[in-house]
């Protein structure tokens, strides 16, 4: 059976993100977490914190494609220095990207954004990602300032020197 994804889905996701304490929501396209390829739509609001992380399993790549708005992907070295900042979406020369395994990254946005994420499965909540020790855990009181610093960080700088 064919699955269709329309503007109503994007609207519903936005409403769910606005109601969520994490300020983001997702809609799984895949049937279950054991599928070999995980596919989902994600709506993220500007105050949503995605802790810098990497997928250390050799086969765990990630693919992002913006469908509405603009998403910034931040790439870091092991010490937390920003190595690259990449904008995805209208007004950018890039609409999507595939991130190789073992790459420290995080996402930020300045306005609501909806994107498609595709990644290698199966998904295991406890072992899906390694979080950066140099970044605060979700819910920590340092998160709002850290998130604001991530939004303006320039390549060559770390969040410790922002």
- Among 112, 110, 113, smallest CA distance to 66 is for 113
What pLDDT band is residue 67 in, cutting at 50, 70 and 90?
very high
- pTM equals 0.92
- Given a cut of 90, whether residue 68 has pLDDT beyond it is yes
- Residue 157 three-state SS: coil
User: What average pLDDT does the chain have?
Assistant: 92
Average the pLDDT over 26-53 and give the result.
93
Average the pLDDT over 24-49 and give the result.
93
pLDDT in tens, 74-101: 999 999 999 999 999 988 999 899 999 9
pLDDT of residue 125: 67
pLDDT of residue 28: 94
DSSP label at residue 100: P
pLDDT of residue 43: 98
pLDDT in tens, 138-159: 999 999 999 999 999 999 999 8
Burial-class residue 82 by CB neighbours within 10 Å (0-12, 13-18, 19+). Answer: buried
- Residue 58 three-state SS: coil
- Given a cut of 70, whether residue 161 has pLDDT beyond it is no
What element of type H or E holds 119? Answer: strand 113-120
pLDDT in tens, 55-64: 888 888 999 9
Domains within the chain, CATH numbers bracketed: 7-152 (2.60.120.10)
CB half-sphere exposure, 22, CA atoms < 13 A: 12
d(CA 98, CA 62): 6
Sign of CA dihedral 78, 79, 80, 81: negative
CB half-sphere exposure, 112, CA atoms < 13 A: 14
Average the pLDDT over 108-134 and give the result.
87
């Amino acid at each position: 059976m064919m699955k269709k994804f329309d503007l109503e889905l994007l609207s519903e996701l936005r409403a769910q993100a606005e109601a969520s304490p994490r300020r983001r929501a997702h809609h799984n396209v895949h049937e279950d977490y054991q599928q070999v390829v995980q596919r989902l739509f994600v709506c993220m609001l500007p105050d949503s914190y995605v802790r810098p992380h990497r997928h250390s399993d050799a086969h765990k790549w990630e693919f992002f494609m913006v469908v509405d708005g603009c998403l910034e992907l931040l790439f870091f070295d092991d010490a937390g220095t920003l190595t690259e900042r990449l904008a995805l979406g209208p007004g950018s020369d890039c609409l999507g990207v595939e991130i190789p395994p073992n790459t420290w990254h995080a996402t930020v946005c300045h306005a609501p954004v909806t994107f498609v994420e595709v990644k290698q499965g199966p998904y295991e909540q406890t072992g899906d990602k390694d979080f950066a020790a140099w970044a605060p855990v979700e819910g920590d009181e340092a998160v709002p300032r850290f998130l604001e610093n991530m939004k303006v960080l320039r390549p060559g700088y770390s969040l410790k020197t922002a």
